[in-house]
Amino acid sequence: MNGAVRKLVSTLKAGYYRGNGAVDIIPDKAYSLGKYADRGVILFGNAQSNAAWKILLADCPIQIQRNRVQAGTQSYQGDDWGAYFVWPIKGSNTASVAVVSGTGLKGMKAADANQYFAGASGFPDFMIYQFDMLKQGSKGVKLAGFYDNAWKLNPQLWVVNP
């Protein structure tokens, strides 16, 4: 089992146990808005590695590609960037997509370190970090914050860590 699949299975088991939830695991190519209307989604990967990205995140101001992160005016290069963020699903008043992303293998490995479903854990709307976060702690988090009420990136609602 490769690392991405292992992380997916681990995350879903935690959600099932802690959240008393039922989860469908589907291939990214099988996703459609119509078939899974008003259902929350957890997306692993980036714009090149996950076919559902275009459907769910085309209008998102945070874009993760192979070797590149773009979040509003902030841009980062390299294969060692990871990101967590949430985005509303177009056409739904209730569902959103939670994204666990990386610009490369190092970025995805950095994403393994967090416990999304641990009790009392909290995350901002978006968090972008480098692989070095695993050693440096919060110094490795480069950008974190919240969207405004219209789901726009507003520099007054984020923190940039130089």
How far apart (Å, rounded) are the C-alpha atoms in residues 117 and 127? 16
pLDDT at 18: 52
Amino acid at 114: N
| Model confidence pLDDT, tens digit, residues 7-32 | 666 666 665 555 556 677 789 999 99
The per-residue pLDDT for 25 is: 79
- For residue 83, give the H/E element and its range: strand 81-88
pLDDT of 63 above 60: yes
Nearest to residue 44, comparing CAs of 79, 13, 5?
A: 5
Q: How many CA atoms, within 13 angstroms, populate the side-chain half-sphere of residue 68?
A: 7
Most confident by average pLDDT, 52-56, 111-115, 118-122: 52-56
Compare 86 and 122 and report the one with higher pLDDT: 86
